[in-house]
Amino acid sequence: MHGYFVKLDITDLKCTLCEQNADNIEEITTHLNVVHEKNLFTGLKNHILPFKFRKDTLSCFMCWNIFNTFKALQEHMNVHFRNYVCAVCDAGFVNKNILLRHGDAHKTGEFSCTECSKTFDTARKKRLHDRSKHSGQKLPHKCGYCTERFKEVWKKYDHLSKIHGIKGPSVKCQACDKSFDTKHAWRLHTTRVHLMQRYHKCSECDMEFYTKKELESHMVRHTGTREFRCDICFKLYGRQKTLKEHTRRVHS
């Protein structure tokens, strides 16, 4: 059978024979084989999705990504259990049925939008078009205080905070003590600070930056260029951010 998979809670996983604690399924399997001489077969494809629920937040215990729903976490686990791999895009899946459903996204043909005259060569492109252009009331994240709806949950939390004064659940970084109001802000922090993905290096000093825009803003220190002019008093500034701050403080 290629369609089944098992959701297993391994929060307090331990051997029932000797009370030895184990961190994951592979560890307990090896322990049973070596210590207790249990003949367990380890060469088979694993259709078990393990989860740990120790923390208040819903997170993947393998990479510590945080999720708002268990469904999203369950879908994410396909990243770690690549039993079946898509030959087109190299995405991995825990069982064959999920791979087959995913394969429909790569089928080519003529897929017409029912709302407008546009056509697409894959069903996936048509679905993305529908979501971005014709989602309307299909936006999944609805504000509980008004009729506004949002595509991403972080936009809903941002709306709740700015419009209704309701603070969303904070997301704590697993690598340091910082907390963030949105998952989007946490992801940016993790990428910039802990993954050190800084591809834009300054040619004048040793500093590196996450985005090209950050590098361009930094280069003003070296070049002294002042391209942003105040329309009211005609003062020049090196950064648009500085000009906006000037306008707010002096001319607002």
Question: Can you point out the beta strands (E) in the chain?
Answer: 6-9, 48-51, 58-59, 66-67, 84-85, 92-93, 108-112, 119-122, 141-142, 149-150, 171-172, 179-180, 200-201, 208-209, 228-229, 236-237
Query: What CATH number does residue 207 fall under?
Result: 3.30.160.60
Total domain count, the chain: 2
101, part of any domain:
no
For residue 234, the model assigns a pLDDT of 85
Last residue of a domain, one of 30, 46, 81: 81
In percent, how much of the chain has pLDDT > 90? 8
211, part of any domain:
yes
Mean of pLDDT over the chain: 81
219, part of any domain:
yes
Check if the beta carbon of residue 112 is closer than 8 Å to that of residue 118.
Answer: yes
Tell me the per-residue pLDDT of 66-77, one tens digit each, with 9 for 90 and over. Answer: 877 788 888 888
Tell me the per-residue pLDDT of 197-242, one tens digit each, with 9 for 90 and over. Answer: 566 788 888 787 766 777 888 888 888 888 888 888 888 888 788 8
- Report d(CA 82, CA 95) in Å as an integer: 8
Tell me the per-residue pLDDT of 106-139, one tens digit each, with 9 for 90 and over. Answer: 888 888 888 787 888 888 788 778 777 776 546 7
17, part of any domain:
yes
Higher pLDDT, 84 or 139: 84
Tell me the per-residue pLDDT of 15-35, one tens digit each, with 9 for 90 and over. Answer: 999 999 998 888 998 899 999
Check if the beta carbon of residue 120 is closer than 8 Å to that of residue 111.
Answer: yes
Check if the beta carbon of residue 8 is closer than 8 Å to that of residue 101.
Answer: no
Residues 6+ apart with CB under 8 A from 199: 208, 210
151, part of any domain:
no
Confidence of residue 54 (pLDDT cuts 50, 70, 90): confident
162, part of any domain:
no
Last residue of a domain, one of 33, 64, 81: 81
For residue 16, the model assigns a pLDDT of 92
Is residue 142 pLDDT above 80, yes or no?
Answer: no
Tell me the per-residue pLDDT of 149-197, one tens digit each, with 9 for 90 and over. Answer: 787 777 887 787 788 777 666 777 766 778 887 777 787 787 777 666 5
Query: Can you tell me whether residue 58 is helix, strand or coil?
Result: strand
Last residue of a domain, one of 34, 54, 81: 81
212, part of any domain:
yes
Higher pLDDT, 142 or 234: 234
Range of the domain at 231: 200-251
